[in-house]
Amino acid sequence: MLRLVALALCLAVLPAAANEAKIRKVLEQKLEGVRIEGIAPAPIPGLWEVRYRTARGVQLLYTDAAATHVIQGSIHELSTERDLTAERLRKLNAIRFDSLPFKHAVKIQRGSGRRVLAMFSDPYCPACKQFEQTLQQVDDITVYVFMYPVIRPELAAHSKAVWCSADRAKAWLDLALRGRAPGAAAACETPVDDIVELGRGLGVNSTPTLVFVNGERVSGGLRSAVELREVLDQAAAGR
Protein backbone atom coordinates (compact mmCIF):
# COMPACT_ATOMS: atom_id res chain seq x y z
CA MET A 1 0.00 0.00 0.00
CA LEU A 2 2.77 2.44 0.96
CA ARG A 3 4.55 1.67 -2.31
CA LEU A 4 1.39 2.48 -4.26
CA VAL A 5 0.97 5.78 -2.42
CA ALA A 6 4.60 6.71 -3.07
CA LEU A 7 4.23 5.78 -6.75
CA ALA A 8 1.08 7.90 -7.03
CA LEU A 9 2.87 10.89 -5.50
CA CYS A 10 5.78 10.52 -7.90
CA LEU A 11 3.43 10.33 -10.89
CA ALA A 12 1.61 13.47 -9.66
CA VAL A 13 4.90 15.38 -9.50
CA LEU A 14 6.16 14.34 -12.94
CA PRO A 15 3.87 16.56 -15.08
CA ALA A 16 4.77 19.60 -12.98
CA ALA A 17 8.47 18.90 -13.34
CA ALA A 18 8.07 18.40 -17.07
CA ASN A 19 6.20 21.69 -17.41
CA GLU A 20 8.85 23.57 -15.45
CA ALA A 21 11.65 22.16 -17.59
CA LYS A 22 9.80 23.05 -20.81
CA ILE A 23 8.99 26.57 -19.62
CA ARG A 24 12.54 27.21 -18.44
CA LYS A 25 14.08 25.97 -21.71
CA VAL A 26 11.80 28.08 -23.93
CA LEU A 27 11.77 31.30 -21.91
CA GLU A 28 15.47 31.44 -21.09
CA GLN A 29 16.09 31.51 -24.85
CA LYS A 30 13.45 34.19 -25.43
CA LEU A 31 14.50 36.35 -22.47
CA GLU A 32 18.03 36.57 -23.89
CA GLY A 33 20.17 35.68 -20.91
CA VAL A 34 17.83 36.73 -18.11
CA ARG A 35 18.15 34.22 -15.29
CA ILE A 36 14.91 32.47 -14.29
CA GLU A 37 14.91 32.02 -10.51
CA GLY A 38 11.79 29.91 -10.13
CA ILE A 39 8.63 28.57 -11.71
CA ALA A 40 5.43 27.79 -9.82
CA PRO A 41 1.69 27.46 -10.42
CA ALA A 42 0.00 30.86 -10.77
CA PRO A 43 -3.18 31.86 -8.91
CA ILE A 44 -5.21 31.02 -12.06
CA PRO A 45 -5.40 27.30 -12.95
CA GLY A 46 -3.47 26.49 -16.10
CA LEU A 47 -1.08 29.42 -15.76
CA TRP A 48 2.47 29.32 -14.44
CA GLU A 49 4.31 32.06 -12.60
CA VAL A 50 7.86 32.69 -13.82
CA ARG A 51 10.22 34.60 -11.53
CA TYR A 52 13.26 36.32 -12.97
CA ARG A 53 15.66 38.96 -11.72
CA THR A 54 16.53 42.32 -13.26
CA ALA A 55 18.24 45.45 -11.98
CA ARG A 56 14.86 46.36 -10.44
CA GLY A 57 14.73 43.15 -8.42
CA VAL A 58 12.55 40.07 -8.89
CA GLN A 59 9.93 40.39 -11.65
CA LEU A 60 7.06 38.14 -12.71
CA LEU A 61 5.47 36.99 -15.90
CA TYR A 62 2.92 34.26 -16.60
CA THR A 63 2.81 31.51 -19.21
CA ASP A 64 0.93 28.35 -20.16
CA ALA A 65 2.33 24.88 -19.52
CA ALA A 66 3.85 24.63 -23.00
CA ALA A 67 5.30 28.17 -22.92
CA THR A 68 3.55 29.06 -26.18
CA HIS A 69 2.14 32.30 -24.79
CA VAL A 70 3.43 34.83 -22.25
CA ILE A 71 1.41 37.34 -20.21
CA GLN A 72 3.05 40.39 -18.68
CA GLY A 73 0.86 42.29 -16.25
CA SER A 74 -1.08 41.95 -13.01
CA ILE A 75 -3.62 39.38 -11.90
CA HIS A 76 -6.51 41.04 -10.08
CA GLU A 77 -8.92 39.04 -7.93
CA LEU A 78 -12.26 40.75 -8.58
CA SER A 79 -14.11 39.35 -5.56
CA THR A 80 -11.62 40.93 -3.16
CA GLU A 81 -10.27 43.70 -5.46
CA ARG A 82 -6.74 42.50 -4.66
CA ASP A 83 -3.78 42.87 -6.99
CA LEU A 84 -2.31 39.40 -6.49
CA THR A 85 0.77 40.15 -8.59
CA ALA A 86 1.66 43.26 -6.59
CA GLU A 87 1.21 41.35 -3.31
CA ARG A 88 3.49 38.59 -4.57
CA LEU A 89 6.18 41.04 -5.72
CA ARG A 90 6.18 42.75 -2.32
CA LYS A 91 6.99 39.41 -0.70
CA LEU A 92 9.58 38.37 -3.29
CA ASN A 93 11.46 41.67 -3.00
CA ALA A 94 11.24 41.94 0.77
CA ILE A 95 13.89 43.73 2.84
CA ARG A 96 14.44 42.95 6.53
CA PHE A 97 12.96 46.07 8.06
CA ASP A 98 15.04 46.10 11.24
CA SER A 99 18.24 45.92 9.17
CA LEU A 100 17.73 49.47 7.86
CA PRO A 101 19.95 52.19 9.40
CA PHE A 102 17.18 54.33 10.92
CA LYS A 103 19.67 56.65 12.59
CA HIS A 104 20.46 57.91 9.08
CA ALA A 105 16.82 58.61 8.20
CA VAL A 106 14.78 61.78 8.56
CA LYS A 107 11.99 60.82 10.95
CA ILE A 108 8.55 62.35 10.40
CA GLN A 109 5.75 61.50 12.83
CA ARG A 110 2.11 62.52 13.00
CA GLY A 111 -0.38 61.52 15.68
CA SER A 112 0.41 58.30 17.52
CA GLY A 113 2.85 57.19 14.80
CA ARG A 114 1.54 53.61 15.00
CA ARG A 115 1.66 53.12 11.22
CA VAL A 116 5.35 52.77 10.31
CA LEU A 117 6.95 53.12 6.91
CA ALA A 118 10.48 53.50 5.52
CA MET A 119 10.95 55.29 2.21
CA PHE A 120 13.81 55.87 -0.22
CA SER A 121 12.89 59.19 -1.81
CA ASP A 122 14.39 61.79 -4.12
CA PRO A 123 13.12 65.34 -3.52
CA TYR A 124 13.27 66.08 -7.26
CA CYS A 125 11.30 62.99 -8.30
CA PRO A 126 7.76 63.92 -9.54
CA ALA A 127 6.32 60.62 -8.28
CA CYS A 128 7.91 61.25 -4.88
CA LYS A 129 6.33 64.69 -4.64
CA GLN A 130 2.95 63.22 -5.55
CA PHE A 131 3.37 60.49 -2.94
CA GLU A 132 4.27 63.10 -0.30
CA GLN A 133 0.83 64.58 -0.94
CA THR A 134 -0.71 61.13 -0.37
CA LEU A 135 1.23 60.76 2.88
CA GLN A 136 -0.33 63.99 4.17
CA GLN A 137 -3.71 62.25 4.08
CA VAL A 138 -2.64 59.42 6.40
CA ASP A 139 -2.81 59.99 10.14
CA ASP A 140 -0.99 58.26 13.02
CA ILE A 141 2.06 57.55 10.87
CA THR A 142 5.82 57.45 11.29
CA VAL A 143 7.86 57.81 8.10
CA TYR A 144 11.61 57.15 8.02
CA VAL A 145 12.87 59.01 4.96
CA PHE A 146 16.13 57.78 3.45
CA MET A 147 17.15 60.67 1.21
CA TYR A 148 18.12 59.18 -2.15
CA PRO A 149 19.07 61.99 -4.57
CA VAL A 150 19.74 59.97 -7.71
CA ILE A 151 17.51 61.65 -10.30
CA ARG A 152 19.31 65.00 -10.11
CA PRO A 153 22.55 64.15 -8.32
CA GLU A 154 23.87 67.65 -9.00
CA LEU A 155 21.30 68.84 -6.43
CA ALA A 156 22.28 66.30 -3.75
CA ALA A 157 23.55 69.24 -1.69
CA HIS A 158 19.93 70.15 -0.98
CA SER A 159 19.34 66.75 0.67
CA LYS A 160 22.56 67.18 2.62
CA ALA A 161 21.39 70.61 3.77
CA VAL A 162 18.15 69.01 5.02
CA TRP A 163 20.23 66.72 7.22
CA CYS A 164 22.13 69.67 8.64
CA SER A 165 18.95 71.64 9.41
CA ALA A 166 17.80 72.21 12.97
CA ASP A 167 14.40 70.68 12.11
CA ARG A 168 15.07 67.92 9.59
CA ALA A 169 11.42 66.88 9.23
CA LYS A 170 10.30 70.40 8.38
CA ALA A 171 13.25 70.94 6.04
CA TRP A 172 12.46 67.71 4.19
CA LEU A 173 8.77 68.56 3.76
CA ASP A 174 9.65 72.06 2.61
CA LEU A 175 11.93 70.58 -0.04
CA ALA A 176 10.08 67.43 -1.14
CA LEU A 177 6.48 68.61 -0.73
CA ARG A 178 6.69 72.36 -1.28
CA GLY A 179 9.77 72.68 -3.51
CA ARG A 180 11.59 75.04 -1.14
CA ALA A 181 15.29 74.21 -0.85
CA PRO A 182 17.08 74.89 2.45
CA GLY A 183 18.47 78.41 2.61
CA ALA A 184 21.83 77.42 4.09
CA ALA A 185 24.37 75.03 2.59
CA ALA A 186 25.24 71.73 4.25
CA ALA A 187 27.62 72.43 7.11
CA CYS A 188 27.87 69.03 8.77
CA GLU A 189 28.70 65.43 7.97
CA THR A 190 25.75 63.67 6.37
CA PRO A 191 24.82 60.05 5.59
CA VAL A 192 23.39 60.89 2.16
CA ASP A 193 26.19 59.31 0.12
CA ASP A 194 26.05 56.19 2.30
CA ILE A 195 22.29 55.95 1.77
CA VAL A 196 22.74 56.15 -2.00
CA GLU A 197 25.23 53.29 -1.79
CA LEU A 198 22.87 51.31 0.46
CA GLY A 199 19.94 51.80 -1.90
CA ARG A 200 21.90 50.62 -4.89
CA GLY A 201 23.00 47.56 -2.95
CA LEU A 202 19.37 46.78 -2.14
CA GLY A 203 18.31 47.19 -5.76
CA VAL A 204 16.38 50.42 -5.21
CA ASN A 205 16.07 51.54 -8.82
CA SER A 206 12.97 53.72 -8.68
CA THR A 207 11.68 56.36 -6.33
CA PRO A 208 9.85 56.38 -4.12
CA THR A 209 10.55 52.87 -2.89
CA LEU A 210 8.55 51.97 0.22
CA VAL A 211 9.53 49.36 2.80
CA PHE A 212 6.92 48.14 5.27
CA VAL A 213 7.46 46.66 8.74
CA ASN A 214 6.95 43.11 7.43
CA GLY A 215 9.78 43.69 4.94
CA GLU A 216 7.62 43.99 1.86
CA ARG A 217 8.61 46.71 -0.58
CA VAL A 218 6.73 48.69 -3.19
CA SER A 219 8.42 50.65 -5.97
CA GLY A 220 6.76 53.83 -7.16
CA GLY A 221 4.55 54.50 -4.15
CA LEU A 222 0.85 53.72 -3.87
CA ARG A 223 -2.01 55.37 -5.71
CA SER A 224 -4.23 56.51 -2.86
CA ALA A 225 -4.27 57.19 0.87
CA VAL A 226 -6.92 54.47 1.30
CA GLU A 227 -4.68 51.86 -0.31
CA LEU A 228 -1.69 53.06 1.71
CA ARG A 229 -3.59 52.78 5.01
CA GLU A 230 -4.70 49.25 4.11
CA VAL A 231 -1.19 48.10 3.22
CA LEU A 232 0.30 49.70 6.35
CA ASP A 233 -2.28 48.06 8.61
CA GLN A 234 -1.92 44.68 6.90
CA ALA A 235 1.86 44.86 7.19
CA ALA A 236 1.62 45.65 10.91
CA ALA A 237 -0.82 42.78 11.48
CA GLY A 238 1.38 40.28 9.63
CA ARG A 239 4.69 41.39 11.07
Domains assigned to the chain: 2-92 (3.10.450.70), 97-237 (3.40.30.10)
Cis preceding-peptide flag for 208 (omega within 30 of 0)? yes
The answer for 178, left when phi > 0, alpha when psi is -120 to 50, beta otherwise, is alpha
pLDDT at 11: 33
Q: Reply yes or no on whether the pLDDT at 77 is more than 80.
A: yes
pLDDT at 16: 56
The overall average pLDDT reported for the chain is: 87
Q: Grade residue 218 by pLDDT with cuts at 50, 70 and 90.
A: confident
Question: Are 213 and 116 within 8 A, CB to CB?
Answer: yes
Q: What is the pTM (predicted TM-score) of this model?
A: 0.72
- Taking only the tens place, the pLDDT of each residue in 4-62 is 333 333 333 445 555 888 898 888 888 877 889 999 999 999 899 999 887 777 889 99
- Taking only the tens place, the pLDDT of each residue in 189-210 is 999 999 999 999 888 888 999 9
